[in-house]
Amino acid sequence: MIMSPKLQVFKSILVLVLFLSFHESKAQSDPIGEKRVTGTIAIKNATITTAPGKTIQNGTILIKNGLIEAVGTNVTIPKEAQVISADSLFIYPGFIDGASNAGVGKPTEPEKPSDFNPANPSDELAGITPWRNVVDNYDYKNNQVYEWRKSGFTIAQLIPEGGMIPGKTAIVVFGNSTSTNILSQNSAMVVKFQGARGGARVYPGTPLGIMAKFRDVYKNAELASRHSKLFASNSGLNRPEINKTYEALYPVVDNNIPVLFKVSDDLEIRRALSLQKENGFKLILAGVHDVEKVTNEIISAKAFVLLPLLLPDDKVTKAKTEDLTEEMQARTKRVQEAYQNNLKQAASLEAAGIPFGFTSMDAKSGDTFKNLRLMVENGLTENTALAALTINAANILGIQKFAGTLEKGKLANMVILTGPFLGEDTQVKHVIADGFMFDYEVKPKKNGNGEKNGNNGAVAINGFWEYTADTPAGSSSGTLEIKKEGDGYSGTITYDNPDGGGKASSEMKNISLSGSSISFSFDVAANGMALDVNVTGEVNGDQISGNLSLSEFGSFPMNATKKPISF
């Protein structure tokens, strides 16, 4: 059988290069996660938090085909596994967003008919569209998905845009853009205290009108569901009329899915709780504020809570009040007190014993860790903050069987950090979502003077290195010669010639050293094709351990040793 040119190149080049470290366990910095971890991969020597309060030092996590195979300190690593050294890195379960609008667009608004009656609009014109599925207006390639994944989020419950009852949610994983990434559809019904288009003159246009309309729709859905079930199992009954609004609510009235009420203050929380008490549906309160005023009612209703990751602007807390009038001073003080209460909401829920998750609605992804640290500074414990991002959110969404913790059999969704969770200098280095690894640039830490740490000689890559690479094509070796030139580096790499006949060499391009992390790339020409190889890694004294990344063929482990030859 004749091997294809690509496979010939693949077989030859696999024996090539070092991709130097866990810092790039899947390739160069890869924010788009083009390669899935479909084989067996062992991440070792990491600090692994499997669940809030449960941490393994110098642990190993074994992943096989996108699932967690084992976690612990005595994990047997199979021979075929790609071994990644994660010294100094911290692994946590991937974060879960309880209610997200990342990548969600607005549906097309219906046109008003010529005989439109604002006192009795159609369901669609009244903002009542429970049959809509958020997936129909979801763009999984939207940059918002990229940004939230970059902040450590791997799963999100998407909420639809629209009016009073805009539709049903879906739970998605922030995986590769070639997949729809849907874990489940129609997981909850969204309800908002948002009136119909046209304001108060179009019914329902007020909070009380919305409550009355909800009662009416819910009760009619209950009656329609009961009639439908009786008709299906009995004779002598009139057939039920089909109504898509009522049919879409059947899963809610049957208690198969919850109602996710978007609320903004304690008054709206009380209104949502009142409707839940009347009708008995399962309830999730999303976007809560002033929660400390209604904790007892929430506990009594057994309602779930999603706290906003969004915090108010703190500029008012720094405002000077000396020159203000007495009235303005009093108003500013009330705003400052409201700001402080906002920071303490999470701690208030924890003190009340109410498990909660987080919602990213209207928040900025870049503020995630900053806002979490502010909540911790105001009484929230780090373990509870982590629980809200992981296991609590999984329980609220009903996905705890495959997400929320790092355990055998669960999805390999995790966030890999450069330091402890919520550490001041901690950054997201990698995110694994749905078996795909996404790599992110880590900025140099600042020293005590607020200056970025440079390479002060502690890590020296200039010199002569010998490497070996173990791949499905066998074991091979080569060399690296790196020279220091001004503020940068130049170098040459040798490898087995893909066209046969000894070694070939190539210029090392874009050589970068940040702390102990090194990266570079080089070109390989074989059988008339040009391939780009990316290398990144971690330098530990005279050793380099890591992987190489070769275009569409994935990444493979290697080791290198520095020889006593200097330039």
Q: Domain containing 70 — which CATH number?
A: 2.30.40.10
Give the pLDDT of residue 546.
65
User: Where residue 370 sits, what CATH number does that domain have?
Assistant: 3.20.20.140
Shared domain check, 513 and 500 = yes
Instruction: Indicate whether 380 and 411 sit together in one domain.
Output: no
195 and 288 share a domain?
A: yes
Residue 539 covered by a domain: yes
Question: In terms of domains, do 379 and 526 share one?
Answer: no
On the CB side of 478, CA atoms within 13 Å amount to 27
**pLDDT (tens digit per residue) in 29-80:** 455 555 554 468 889 999 999 999 999 999 999 999 889 999 999 999 998 8
What are the structure tokens assigned to 423, written together?
Answer: 């550490």
Q: Which residues of the chain have pLDDT under 50?
A: 1-29, 37-38, 447-457, 551-552, 565-567
Does 341 share its domain with 416?
no
Q: Could you tell me if 168 and 186 lie in one domain?
A: yes
Together in a domain, 312 and 353: yes
Q: Terminus-to-terminus CA distance in the chain, angstroms? A: 47
Residue 48 neighbours by CB under 8 Å, 6+ apart: 55, 56, 59, 61, 71, 90, 91, 406
Q: Which of 488, 480, 478, 483 is nearest to 462 (CA)?
A: 483
Domain containing residue 12: 1-25+455-567
Residues in Cβ contact with 512 at an 8 Å cutoff, skipping those fewer than 6 apart: 518, 519, 520
Instruction: Flag whether 3 is in a domain.
Output: yes
Alpha-carbon distances of 66 from 69, 97, 371, rounded to whole Å = 9, 20, 31
Domain shared by 20 and 36, yes or no: no
In order of 22, 239, 389, 425, the CA distances from 369 in angstroms are 23, 56, 11, 10
The SS3 call for residue 61 is strand
Judge whether 334 lies within some domain.
yes
CATH of the domain at 563: 2.40.128.120
Cα–Cα distance for residue pair 476/240, rounded to 1 Å:
73
The four Cα atoms 63, 66, 68, 72 give a dihedral, to 10 degrees, of 30
Instruction: Flag whether 534 is in a domain.
Output: yes
As a residue count, the chain comes to 567
Sign of CA dihedral 56, 58, 63, 66: positive
Tell me the C-alpha distance between 4 and 59, whole Å: 41
Residue 17 and residue 34 in one domain: no
Q: Look at the chain and report how many structural domains it folds into.
A: 3
